[in-house]
Amino acid sequence: MSAASYTRYELLRTLRNRRFFILSLGFPLVLYFLIAGSQRNVHNLGGTGISAPLYFMVGLLAFGTMSSMLSCGARIAAERAVGWNRQLRISPLPTRTYFRAKVQTAYLMALLSIIVLYAAGISLGVSMSVSDWLRMTLLILVCLIPFAALGIVIGHMLTPDSIGPAMGGSVALFAFLGGTWFPITHGFLYDFGQLLPSYWLVQASHIPLGGHPMSTKGWIVIVAWTVVATIVARRAYRRDTGRV
C-alpha cells in the first residue's frame, strides 16, 4: 500500500489527457504573445517601472497557473460524476493522501505552465539573474497555495456542468483584479485587489527591480485565503459522500 503509487497514477492520468494539457498550456501562451508581443519595447508599463514583456509574462503566468490549480476541481467534479469519489471513500485511502495527490498534480501542471511562459518571456527579451528567476518561481508557487485549496472546494461543491463557467469566471475575476491584463495602481479596485491572492501572484514580477514584492499585508492575505479555503475544502470533502 502506498500513497506514492496513487499519486503516480493521478499524474499519469493528467498527462494522458492531451486536450486538457494542450489547451491549458497553450491558451496563456497565445495570449501572452498577443498582448506582450505588440508592446515588447515598452520598458516602463503604466509607471510600474517594469517592462511589458516581464509584466505580462508574470501576469499571464498567474492566469495560467490559477487555471491549472482550479482545473484540479474540474477533474474532481468529473470523478464525482462517474461515482469514483464514492468508490474511493470505501477504500482505506486517507483524506490527506487524496488531497496531496490532487495538489501535487495541480502543481505539476502549474509548473509546466510556468516553464512555458518563462521560455516565451525570454524570447521577448526578459532577462534577470538566476537567483531572481528562482526567487520569483518560489514566490509564485507559494502564492498558488490558496488556489490549490480552492480547486478542491469547487470540485466537491459543483457539478461538471457548472464547473466550467465557475472556473472561467473566477479565474477571469481574480486575474483582472490582480492586475494580470494591465496594472491597477490606484482607486477602489487597487484597494480591493490587494485582498486577493492573485494580486500578490502578479506582484512577483517586481522581483527583478530588487524590492520586496511581498509586504506583510501580502503574507496575511495569502495565509488567510489558504486557511479559509482549506477549512472549506475539508468540510466540502467530508460532506460529499452522496450520490451525485
Partner 1 sequence: MLAIEAQNLRKSYGSIEAVRGIDISIDAGETVALLGPNGAGKSTTIDMILGLAEPDSGTVSVLGGSPSAAIDSGWIGAMLQTGALIRDLSVRELIAMVASLYPESLDVGETLELTGLSEIAGQRTQKLSGGQTQRVRFAVALVSNPKLLVLDEPTVAMDVEGRRSFWTTMRSEAARGRTILFATHYLEEADAYADRAVLMAHGQVVADGPPTEIKAMVGLRTIRATLPGVDLDALGRLPGVSAAERRGEAIVLACADSDAAIRALLAAYPDARDIEIAAAGLEEAFLQLTGDDAGAQLEEAVS
Which parts of this chain interact with partner 1 (CB under 8 A)? 1-2, 5-6, 9, 12-14, 16-17, 78-79, 82-84, 86-93, 241-243
Q: What is the dihedral of CA 118, 213, 186, 222, to 10 degrees?
A: 90
Shortest separation between residue 235's beta carbon and partner 1, angstroms: 15
Cβ 29 to partner 1, closest distance in Å?
23
Residues 6+ apart with CB under 8 A from 161: none
Q: Would you list the DSSP string of 112-126? A: HHHHHHHHHHHHTT-
The answer to whether 122 and 49 have CB atoms below 8 angstroms apart is no
39 backbone dihedrals φ, ψ, rounded to 5°: -115, 30
Rounded CA gap, 152 and 9, in Å? 18
- Shortest spacing between CB 155 and partner 1, in angstroms: 13
Instruction: Tell me the CA distances in angstroms from 169 to 31, 162, 165, 234, one per residue in order.
Output: 17, 11, 6, 23
| 92 vs 210 by CB, closer to partner 1 | 92
For partner 1, the closer of residues 4 and 130 by Cβ is 4
71 versus 194: smaller Cβ distance to partner 1:
71
2 or 131: CB nearest partner 1? 2
Torsion angle, alpha carbons of 179, 60, 175, 184, to 10 = 10
Cβ 98 to partner 1, closest distance in Å? 10
CB of 8 to partner 1, least distance (A): 9
Measured distance CA(162)–CA(79) in Å, rounded: 14
Residue nearer to partner 1 on the CB measure, 90 or 130: 90
Q: CB of residue 122 vs partner 1: minimum separation in angstroms?
A: 32
Nearer to partner 1, 23 or 189 (CB): 23
